[in-house]
Amino acid sequence: MAKTPEGIIKANCLRWLEKRGIFSWNNPSGVIHISADRWIRFGKKGSSDIIGVLPDGKFLAIETKSIKGRLSPEQKAFIEKVRGLGGVAILARSLRELDEALCANGYTFSDMPLFNELAAKKNSDDQVTQTITKGIK
């Protein structure tokens, strides 16, 4: 994954989910230019960056964005479709947003008091992320 702000958020979210035993994976999609007149599309246009299955079997879709990143119309439609079919679809700009969205959907984790305590001390999201995901590679 690229070390763009969005790529870093995506990598941190994947490590966070893995640490909690949530079956999830990176879901790349896009277009590759093969030759002057040949392009190959892979993945579903608009599908979320991270796809997974929650412990109760619900489908999970997480779109990661930087602070300034915006959802495309296709990404908005994908999120609405997942939610409409009973899945959990999240826009995450930080681990805090991922945690809050999962909590809002009824999923909590035993190490969240540590996350909240660190956040209360006014640590940046990056510092909180480093502490929570420490040792996960």
Q: Could you report the per-residue pLDDT of 7-60, keeping only the tens digit for each?
A: 999 999 999 999 999 999 999 998 999 998 999 998 999 999 999 999 999 999
In 14-134 the beta strands, taken as DSSP E runs, fall at 23-26, 30-35, 38-42, 50-53, 59-64, 88-92
The pLDDT score that the predictor gives to residue 135 is: 46
- Calpha distance 99→108 (Å, rounded): 8
Q: How confident is the model at residue 120 (pLDDT cuts 50, 70, 90)?
A: low
The pLDDT score that the predictor gives to residue 3 is: 84
Query: Which two tokens mark 137?
Result: 């590679």
The pLDDT score that the predictor gives to residue 136 is: 44
The pLDDT score that the predictor gives to residue 13 is: 95
- Calpha distance 68→49 (Å, rounded): 17
Beta carbons within 10 angstroms of residue 119's beta carbon: 18
Question: What's the pLDDT tens digit per position in 62-118?
Answer: 999 999 999 999 999 999 999 999 999 999 999 999 999 999 999 987 655 445 555
- Calpha distance 6→18 (Å, rounded): 18
Contact between 16 and 97 under an 8 Å Cβ cutoff? The reply is no
Q: How confident is the model at residue 2 (pLDDT cuts 50, 70, 90)?
A: low
Contact between 125 and 94 under an 8 Å Cβ cutoff? The reply is yes
The pLDDT score that the predictor gives to residue 109 is: 74
Q: What's the pTM value of the predicted model, to 2 decimals?
A: 0.79
Beta carbons within 10 angstroms of residue 30's beta carbon: 9
- Calpha distance 125→25 (Å, rounded): 22
Q: Which domains does the chain have, with CATH numbers?
A: 5-132 (3.40.1350.10)
The pLDDT score that the predictor gives to residue 65 is: 97
